[in-house]
Amino acid sequence: MRTYLVALALSLAPAVALAGAEMPDVTGKYKVSTEGSTTQLQAGQKGKLVLSISLSESAHLSEEAPLRIAVSGTNGAAPEKTSLVYADQVSQKAPGQKYANPVVFEVPFSVAAKAPPITATVDAKMTFFVCTADICARQQQQVSLPVKVCRGRAGTC
């Protein structure tokens, strides 16, 4: 019985050590961007929020761990989808590539015809896991895209 308890204690030691250790910082291994998003439109027209997660060569986005993106709007902005998961990505893996990079999501949105000119926002609260050869670490990012809403032609804001 004593041998069993010693073996159990030794097998749990690495897990206990990891539980007290700080997780490695992977924030330098990725970048979140809204490049390609609509930033100006006429009231009543549709725009598009583009969320792009670009990763370093030594990192990838986990396909198994939960990825959640909650999308909302303010000042009249209304996204067509308010919740995204990994399967909603529009990016494709290049031939021979194990993981998509960058991982891209697109969300169409409209802005109600309030009294332009106004600035509406489309917001995204993102939770995802960035992985390296050694670890997968949970990341949270918030993105807010300001959208200038114009009257008449979009060029007259």
Domain 25-152 grouped into CATH 2.60.40.10: yes
Q: What is the pLDDT along the chain (157 residues), one digit of tens a residue?
A: 444 443 444 444 444 444 445 667 888 999 999 999 999 998 888 999 999 999 999 999 999 999 999 999 999 899 999 999 999 999 988 888 889 999 999 999 998 876 567 899 999 999 999 999 999 999 999 999 999 998 765 455 6
Can you give the pLDDT at residue 44? 82
Structural domain spans, the chain = 25-152
Please give the Cα distance from 52 to 101 (Å, whole number).
9
Identify whether the C-beta of residue 99 lies closer than 8 Å to the C-beta of residue 60. yes
pLDDT of residue 11: 47
- Say if CB 117 and CB 46 are below 8 A apart: no
